[in-house]
């Protein structure tokens, strides 16, 4: 954590104040550090909010990676199925061509 070293001394009127004049009567915190304390509280809140966002990001990333893996597997299966169907269609068309050619030869021999 950064340690703040003041560049200038406190004004003389503040240095001459009694200790009870420099502290909050409710919480006992010095007014001189109360502002810094409040600023640090706000910074902590902002960092906590950012951490929650990043934690959510990690969870989302994991789910997206799983979904991507699942979709990749599906795509590979579809490619395999497509290749198989293409081969079957090719064989089907070849057999049709063969049968048509035989019929044409039969007709020509008549």
Per-residue pLDDT of the chain (110 residues; tens, 9 = 90+): 566 666 667 778 877 888 777 777 777 777 677 667 788 899 999 999 998 888 888 889 999 999 999 999 999 999 999 999 999 999 999 999 999 999 999 998 87
Query: What pLDDT, on the 0 to 100 scale, is given for residue 3?
Result: 62
Kindly state whether residue 67 falls inside one of the protein's structural domains.
Answer: yes
Number of domains in the chain: 1
Range of the domain at 47: 12-83
CA-closest candidate to residue 33, choices 55, 3, 58: 3
Kindly state whether residue 3 falls inside one of the protein's structural domains.
Answer: no
Kindly state whether residue 68 falls inside one of the protein's structural domains.
Answer: yes
Kindly state whether residue 4 falls inside one of the protein's structural domains.
Answer: no
Kindly state whether residue 90 falls inside one of the protein's structural domains.
Answer: no
Kindly state whether residue 63 falls inside one of the protein's structural domains.
Answer: yes
Sign of CA dihedral 65, 66, 72, 78: negative
Kindly state whether residue 70 falls inside one of the protein's structural domains.
Answer: yes
């Amino acid at each position: 954590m950064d340690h703040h070293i003041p560049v200038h001394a406190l004004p003389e009127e503040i240095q001459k104040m009694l200790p009870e004049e420099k502290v909050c009567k409710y919480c006992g915190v010095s007014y001189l550090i109360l502002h810094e304390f409040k600023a640090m509280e706000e910074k902590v809140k902002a960092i906590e909010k950012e951490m929650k966002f990043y934690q959510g990001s990690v969870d989302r990333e994991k789910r997206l990676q799983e979904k991507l893996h699942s979709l990749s597997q599906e795509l590979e299966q579809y490619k395999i199925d497509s290749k198989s169907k293409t081969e079957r269609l090719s064989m089907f068309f070849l057999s049709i061509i063969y049968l048509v050619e035989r019929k044409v030869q039969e007709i020509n021999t008549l």
